[in-house]
């Protein structure tokens, strides 16, 4: 879907910070953009987010988790993404289907095919034009942020899960290199932001 760009990466890579800085830049430049996030991004979808991430819900079935992410996505598309794209805006979404592919399909071991199918039902034609991947291994990411946030049900999963997620992203990128912009996120926040903007300029999204 043209003008629909998603941003992905492992937990702790600085995705939220980089996305906020990009938003500020785009707004300063007067671009007609919408920044949003998953899971969440709209009222009902944010309520689903709280259920998914609540550390008290440690008994949640993996398939229930996969469906909740997909359910939040359907609502978020309806409330935010589809209207913005219809109005000709550029939409940047912090996480989208690729998170489900790697976290639920590979990390949880539900199987990539099953999660791709589930999300095809959820999103239909609303696939991103391309995806920015902030590339930093979970080892480096957690070291930099001083460990995982144990109050977040997903971050609290054991380390091998996050390694599988990282390898999963790498495999998706290898399978469809044209659909990704891989950004080295191991440098300073300034360096990463510069690389991110350069990549978006190469794609003609910003100047």
Residues of this chain that interact with ligand TMP (CB under 6 A) are 11, 15, 38-39, 69, 95, 99-100, 103-104, 154-155
In the bound state with ligand TMP, the residue whose beta carbon lies nearer, of 154 and 183, is: 154
Cis peptide before 82 (omega within 30 of 0): no
Residue pointed to by tokens 């492992």 = 10
CB of 154 to ligand TMP, least distance (A): 3
**How many Å separate Cα 163 from the centre of its chain?**
16
As a whole number of Å, the end-to-end CA separation of the chain is 20
CB of 157 to ligand TMP, least distance (A): 8
Q: For the chain, where are the alpha helices, taking DSSP H only?
A: 15-28, 43-53, 62-76, 82-86, 97-99, 112-123, 138-145, 159-175, 189-202
In the bound state with ligand TMP, the residue whose beta carbon lies nearer, of 29 and 52, is: 52
| Cα separation, 50 vs 191, whole angstroms | 32
User: Could you tell me if 127 and 97 are in contact, meaning their C-beta atoms sit under 8 angstroms apart?
Assistant: yes
CB of 79 to ligand TMP, least distance (A): 15
Tokens of 105: 């399909």
In the bound state with ligand TMP, the residue whose beta carbon lies nearer, of 38 and 135, is: 38
| Cα separation, 89 vs 92, whole angstroms | 10
In the bound state with ligand TMP, the residue whose beta carbon lies nearer, of 103 and 142, is: 103
CB of 187 to ligand TMP, least distance (A): 20
In the bound state with ligand TMP, the residue whose beta carbon lies nearer, of 104 and 164, is: 104
CB of 158 to ligand TMP, least distance (A): 13
């Amino acid at each position: 879907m043209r003008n629909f760009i998603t941003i992905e990466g492992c937990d702790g890579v600085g995705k939220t910070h980089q996305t906020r800085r990009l938003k500020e830049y785009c707004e300063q430049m007067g671009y007609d953009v919408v920044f949003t996030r998953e899971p969440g991004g709209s009222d009902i979808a944010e309520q689903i987010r709280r259920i998914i991430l609540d550390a008290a819900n440690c008994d949640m079935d993996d398939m229930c988790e996969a469906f909740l992410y997909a359910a939040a996505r359907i609502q978020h598309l309806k409330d935010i993404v589809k209207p913005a794209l219809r109005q000709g805006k550029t939409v940047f979404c912090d996480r989208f289907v690729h998170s489900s592919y790697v976290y639920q399909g590979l990390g949880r071991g539900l199987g990539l095919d099953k999660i791709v199918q589930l999300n095809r039902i959820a999103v239909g034609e609303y696939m991103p034009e391309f995806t920015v991947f902030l590339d930093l291994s979970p080892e480096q990411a957690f070291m930099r942020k001083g460990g995982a946030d144990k109050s977040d049900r997903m971050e609290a999963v054991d380390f091998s899960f996050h390694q599988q997620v990282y390898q999963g992203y790498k495999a998706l990128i290898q399978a469809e290199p044209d659909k990704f912009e891989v950004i080295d996120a191991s440098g300073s926040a300034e360096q990463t932001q510069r690389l991110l903007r350069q990549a978006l300029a190469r794609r003609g999204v910003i100047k």
